[in-house]
Structure 1
Amino acid sequence: MRWFRVHNYFESLRPLYLAIKLLHFHFETIDFSTQTLHRTLTDQFRFVFTLLLDCYLVYKGIQSTSTFLYLTDSNIVNGGCFSALILAFLFGLFMAPKYRLRTQGMFEILTNIAEFDGQLRSLGLHIDHQRHHFISTVSAGLWMTMGLFVLIITGTNRTSEDWLDLSEMFPDWISILAMCRSATSLGIFTCYITMTLYSLKTGFDQLNQAIAKHLNITPQAINRIPRTSRQTCQVVRKIASLHDLLSDTVELFNECYYTQVVHALTAAFDFTIFSIFSVIHSNAGQTDEVTLRVTWVNAMFDGFFVVYTLQLIVAASIVNETCKRSSVMIHKATAYGRYDRRVVKELGTFSYQLYHHTPKVTCRLFDLDWTLLYTMAGSFATYLVVLLQFDLANLNGI
């Protein structure tokens, strides 16, 4: 028997909530007993203090890391890496205000999922909150170590005798703290939206199980479930209501996070391009020791951006595929089920609605799916070739 038990969806998110509040990214208090949100005087003070601290760290961080502009023998590497650092610093700066402005919408996402879980029990299914709590704890712990890792690497390698001397790239502790704050912001944001997407995916999975349990979705399942037409209509309406609730939650997710997703993806794409370019540049010809050191540092930090991009796109793609599976199952129930006229009308209306509108995880500019990953890979190769041509022209003195 486990030493703790999780009874509802809100309790399963408690570790992640505590981590976000501890790192000063969440400035409201959640009452887990009543599942309500309120703002205290302490929360107000924490928000003002965090905003002032972030502004100071970003200003001093950009000022200190301006050495990137003349650190290596390539102006392209210098300018590209510095621009990516600025985007990363600004992401950390805008994190707290964005959370403050979107708090009600973010909390509504949680209440919708909790309401879905409560209504799902009427269909004989439920979400495994114990598993959700475990994944939330592990995910928050792993991503919180991101800022700690950056702090250890940048804070300990400060002399020329170290294999990775970072004293020229991050000359003082202000720049180190600014980088740690940005890394922690990206890690916590990735953890939070990934857990939200996981909750949506779990909800659609449970809904699909309810469809398979209560409706005939294959020719072999015809007349397998004896039920009156009135009961079947009630089941179809309940499934449609739950699907509509999850669809609204997906749309609310897009509304709350699209600006942060675009910002983080832009920073990740920028930093990845110039990191790979610096690796090619430093190994294609004779370069000094500083350029090689910057190349390895960029490649190491770029790993965080790559993990963020892959985790976001994979999680969003899985949610989109699960949404489509719900639509397909309803279409099959309409095609294979032998029901009376009232049930057929209910299923037909629901199927027609899903045929014309299936919820998707998007950031307004593009859908977050596998197509985006392929597009980013193609664009990455194109921009990399262009940068290499410029670099070759500079080496030839053109």
Structure 2
Amino acid sequence: MKIHKLFSLILTILILLLNTLKAQNSTYYYDQQLINDLLKDYNTAALPKPESGIQTKIDFRLEVMGIVEVNTAESYVKLKASVRQWWKDKRLSWDPSKYGGLNQTWLKSDPQTSNYIWTPDTYLQQDVGEGYLSNMRFTDIRINSDGSVYFSRFGDIKVLVTFDVTKYPYDEQIINMTFGSWLYTDNRILISMRNNPLYIYDTFRLDHIEWDIISSSYKTINYNFSTGSYQHVQFQLTIRRKGNTLVISVIIPCFLVGLASTFYFFLPKGQGERANFLATILLTEIMFLVMISQILPVSTRIPFMGFFFLSVSCVTIFLILVVLLIDKKERQLERIKYKKRKARNFELKINQSLNNNSCVSIEDNQIARLNTDTQSSAAISVPRRGPKWLKFWGFINTRKKLRKLDQYIAFFTGLSLCVMMISMLIIMLT
């Protein structure tokens, strides 16, 4: 009894295997027969045969996986994308009942193979390189029994982009991609958009380290030439740079260095320490400028950030000139004070001698020296004639006024740096 059951099980398995092999062989046979019949009188140079008329409608769809490369020096953006096209060709239709119920088959798109079929001559206007399909693999074309054809290629697309970096590092760039037929007018090949013609992957998106895709749009464009009318589809992507890292690592430190230049006010005057401090600040800012020049993208427009760094350096140079003038004025007032004190002490000695009726002989050369010092002090205290913009310098005749001027310059310098920083961030973020 057990042997009989085992024999029945083995026989059932053998029958199933034979049926499976037979089905596979029949499917393979019908598939080969179908391909041979479809390509028997097929001409790859002829346009597809539409259901009616002579116009072939091609539904177009672009699917973007992400940004691969953004090259501002060579003005292009490389995208990882898939180009999908649908059309109908009655030459590639068949009756499934004659081929074992086959509803689909696949043919080649590579012209170097034997069983390839016609594909649209769709091109990209903003292409950089040998063609937008040059970096895409040749894939098989899916054909349904009703003659509908589905063609998809996946790979890299290099798009020419005009960069505007005035708001760097928070700049936004627009990528325009216009697809259309190169040879055929719209009365023969009509390229239109399929449902949801521009799709950006969410699950399989490639996240770029520096850029994000923030918006997308699409539209249909018609071109009229002497040879006829051409219909194209245009896709637009807007990408934004991730600039937070650059702001934290470069812009804010440079702003703090520029703001530190106002601390010269707390250093002693007239000893050269303030000028040395500001010179060190200027060298640090020049180092930032050199570093930024290597980071900034190549463009005919200067970014606002470049103007900011130049402005900070100009403010530091202005402070160095002001400090040199103030130190010079400080030394001048110190000499005047010293000579006046010396003359006053000498007069006190004379008066003290006369009051005590002491016979103090004063040599003529000492009296002459006193008169000379007094006259020179008066001459120094009177401002010399100079440029009109230096007339106010004569009013700074005391150290108190000089210190007040120093305070105002330091305050307004720090205020101007803060205003420049806030203005630059507002311009870049709006």
Provide TM-score, normalisation by structure 2.
0.19
Tell me which protein shows more strand as a share of its residues.
Answer: 2
Q: Point out the structure with the larger helix share.
A: 1
Find the structure with the greater CA-based Rg.
2
Larger RCO (CA within 8 A; separation ≥ 6): 1
